[in-house]
Amino acid sequence: MDSSEIRQLKILAAKSRMGAILGTYHAKSGHPGGSLSAADIMTYLYFKEMNVKPEQPKWEDRDRFVLSKGHCCPSLYAILALKGYFEWDELKVLRHVGAMLQGHPDMKGTPGIDMSTGSLGQGISAACGMALAAKLDNKDYRVYTLLGDGEVEEGQVWEAAMFASHQNLDNLVVIVDQNGLQIDGPVEEIAGIEPLDKKFESFGFEVIKIDGHNFEEIKSALDKAKTIKGKPTAILAKTIKGKGVSFMENQVGWHGTAPNKEQYEQATAELQAEIDRLEGNC
Amino acid sequence: MAEIIKKATRESFGMALCELAKTNKDIVVFDADLAAATKTGIFKKEFPERFIDCGIAEGNMIGVAAGMAAAGKIPVAASFAMFATGRAFEQIRNSVAYPHLNVKIAGSHAGISTGEDGATHQCIEDIGIMRTIPGMVVINPADHYEMMAATKAAVEYVGPVYIRLGRLAIDSFNDPSTYKFELGKGITLHEGNDVAVIATGLVVNEALKAVKELEAEGINARLINIHTIKPIDREIIIKAAKETGRVITVEEHNVIGGLGSAVSEVLSEEYPVKITKIGVNDVFGYSGPALELLDKFGLTQPHIAKVIRDVVKG
């Protein structure tokens, strides 16, 4: 990746963050904190990594993405809109009665959503099922799933981890968005999950630790995952909850609180300034 | 008279899967370390490449099955009814039913006839749990022939299905030369207008024997087999209530939430009549041989006959 590609990704990620802010502001609810921490990873997946066709969302040979931490869908929706799956303005009615974009991802109603998620711990199992289906059908599509670091407290995550490793699902990449915060406080204070790398390693995963806001590191981890044979890969991505909006960064209170008008305007102004700065440099 | 086959419905289910998998390449079977008991082992032996043992991890099994269905397969996931519908309830609700994925869930060792394993393994809540989930089809076949046909129908139907399997070997009573399974359609097994007996699953044959016994006493009971609890055959139930004026339900399930409740829901809205529920009366089971337990819980021919007699004689 050259610097202009990275700049483009940064612009797209900033736009996805604006979409997440826009959506949660209009919804008067939702989860901005984790949406912002996961934005760079999901931007890279959809714009560089995954083989998908927005005009044919159910294309059977596509790579799949399962947002196991389903509550962080506002930025995913924004990315899907930027990618062309649906209109950007759908974000303005996120969570409204009759709207297409639900509070948590709905594969039946939203083009580009590969799995309905929201109940934590379940998406990773579905991702395993998709990866195994690819193996049974001798197809070479890959499956990506994004988990929260609080989410890995769910026992089902480890049932799925055992399964993925036992079935040698080398076409599966589990990414953990390690923003360090869950609803009730810091993950390590609520129900500590560390050492997470050793946990995944002992469950049979190739483990790669990265900065989840650094596109070169995201790229290199996903590129390496493709070379790993016979076992799944876990990418532990250190991130900042609320990343990109100064007053939301590392604040546990922004897990599930929508911005008010003033906060919306400030957040939007900050993100727009970042986009202008990046575009000015183009 | 058709040949009577004495077989547990779990075994008929395993046989049916094998039969169907010969022509349907999309069928994939999952189990959670109970293949020998749920009889998916029959399938495993014949189609090892399409059988996946998930180990003792039912929640993950259902989630994996959901992902498989999202990728176009027809996954059939089996465990004991207790663990399939109890432990994995929320995975079924959110990962399978909400996206209306094409997953078939088989709950074996349902009811108190699970026997010696006792209350922890005797699931008497599965029908209630499953039928409260929007869009879930719930099937409870009554004998070998019905299970063979129901499994085929479940696989052919596109969407989530729960199918209840029994552990105990029971006699068949259906005649395969005339038997026809239609999803959501009850079957009248015996005509009569004195009372309507509506039964499901393993106890249908006991109810049939009871109804025949009462014929000699001049009691003409109608017997309806409801193999599909959801969507329930409203028409056949309403007609029976109108023509007989009194209804008895028979099921190997808690009287709360199962067939008795489903029939009550229909009749209370459409044609209220008195309903007498035969089932497990909101208590846990206990260890013992299946036949003895069925007798203790009043689910055998003489007990059913007595209730019918009492209801008819008022």
What average pLDDT does the structure give for chain B?
97
List the CATH number of the domain containing A12.
3.40.50.970
Choose the final residue of a domain: B140, B171, B202: B171
CB contact under 8 A, A163 and B60: yes
Query: Would B39 be classed as within a structural domain?
Result: yes
On whether ipTM exceeds 0.90, the answer is yes
Query: Would B267 be classed as within a structural domain?
Result: yes
List the CATH number of the domain containing B268.
3.40.50.920
Query: Would B243 be classed as within a structural domain?
Result: yes
Tokens at residue A38, please? 């996961």
Q: For chain B, what is the total number of helices (H) and then of strands (E)?
A: 13, 14
Say if residue B223 is in the same domain as residue B125: no
User: Residue B20: its pLDDT value, please?
Assistant: 98
Instruction: Flag whether pLDDT at B113 surpasses 90.
Output: yes
Under DSSP, the state recorded for B4 is P
CB contact under 8 A, B100 and A108: yes
- H helix runs in chain B, sequence order: 9-23, 35-38, 41-46, 58-70, 81, 89-91, 126-131, 144-156, 204-215, 234-244, 259-270, 290-296, 301-313
Say if residue B151 is in the same domain as residue B231: no
Look at the pTM and tell me if it is higher than 0.90. Answer: yes
| A158 to chain B: closest CA residue | B60
Query: Would B91 be classed as within a structural domain?
Result: yes
Cα separation, A175 vs B154, whole angstroms = 36
Q: Which of A60, A102, A130 to mutate to test the interface with B (most CBs of B within 10 A)?
A: A130
List the CATH number of the domain containing B43.
3.40.50.970
B63 touches A: beta carbon within 8 Å: yes
Query: Would B126 be classed as within a structural domain?
Result: yes
Q: Which of B60, B91, B158 to mutate to test the interface with A (most CBs of A within 10 A)?
A: B60
Sort out which chain A residues have CB atoms less than 8 A from B63's CB and list them: 122-126, 128-129, 156, 160
Sort out which chain A residues have CB atoms less than 8 A from B62's CB and list them: 125
Say if residue B107 is in the same domain as residue B250: no
Say if residue B147 is in the same domain as residue B256: no
| B101 to chain A: closest CA residue | A108
Under DSSP, the state recorded for B295 is H
Domain count, chain A: 1
Whether the Cβ atoms of residue A174 and residue A235 lie closer than 8 Å to each other: yes
A275 touches B: beta carbon within 8 Å: no
Instruction: Flag whether pLDDT at B267 surpasses 80.
Output: yes
Domain holding B283, by residue range, is 187-313
- Considering only CB atoms, A126 lies closest to which of B55, B66, B100, namely B66
Choose the final residue of a domain: B146, B171, B196: B171
Instruction: Flag whether pLDDT at B75 surpasses 60.
Output: yes
Query: Would B178 be classed as within a structural domain?
Result: no
Calculate mean pLDDT across residues B34-59: 97
A119 touches B: beta carbon within 8 Å: yes
User: Residue A282: its pLDDT value, please?
Assistant: 47
The pLDDT tens digits of the residues spanning B81-109 come to: 999 999 999 999 999 999 999 999 999 99
User: Residue A281: its pLDDT value, please?
Assistant: 54
- Tell me which of B58, B125, B206, B251 is the catalytic residue: B58
A168 touches B: beta carbon within 8 Å: no
Calculate mean pLDDT across residues B187-198: 98
Say if residue B31 is in the same domain as residue B162: yes
How far does the CA of residue A90 sit from the closest CA of chain B (Å)?
21
Q: How confident is the model at residue B73 (pLDDT cuts 50, 70, 90)?
A: very high
SS3 state at B16 = helix
Choose the final residue of a domain: B138, B171, B204: B171
Say if residue B276 is in the same domain as residue B221: yes
- Considering only CB atoms, A126 lies closest to which of B54, B67, B73, namely B67
Domain count, chain B: 2
Say if residue B146 is in the same domain as residue B193: no
Place of tokens 């069928």: B27
Domain holding A169, by residue range, is 3-280
Residue B270 annotated among the catalytic residues of the structure: no
| A106 to chain B: closest CA residue | B99
pLDDT tens digit at each of 282 positions of chain A: 999 999 999 999 999 999 999 999 999 999 999 999 999 999 999 999 999 999 999 999 999 999 999 999 999 999 999 999 999 999 999 999 999 999 999 999 999 999 999 999 999 999 999 999 999 999 999 999 999 999 999 999 999 999 999 999 999 999 999 999 999 999 999 999 999 999 999 999 999 999 999 999 999 999 999 999 999 999 999 999 999 999 999 999 999 999 999 999 999 999 999 999 999 854
Sort out which chain B residues have CB atoms less than 8 A from A108's CB and list them: 99-100
User: Residue B1: its pLDDT value, please?
Assistant: 64
Sort out which chain B residues have CB atoms less than 8 A from A57's CB and list them: none
Query: Would B1 be classed as within a structural domain?
Result: no
* Beta-ladder partners of B52: B30
Say if residue B227 is in the same domain as residue B299: yes
Say if residue B150 is in the same domain as residue B192: no
Sort out which chain A residues have CB atoms less than 8 A from B68's CB and list them: 129-130, 132-133
Calculate mean pLDDT across residues B131-157: 98
Calculate mean pLDDT across residues B281-296: 98
A66 touches B: beta carbon within 8 Å: yes
Q: How confident is the model at residue B2 (pLDDT cuts 50, 70, 90)?
A: confident
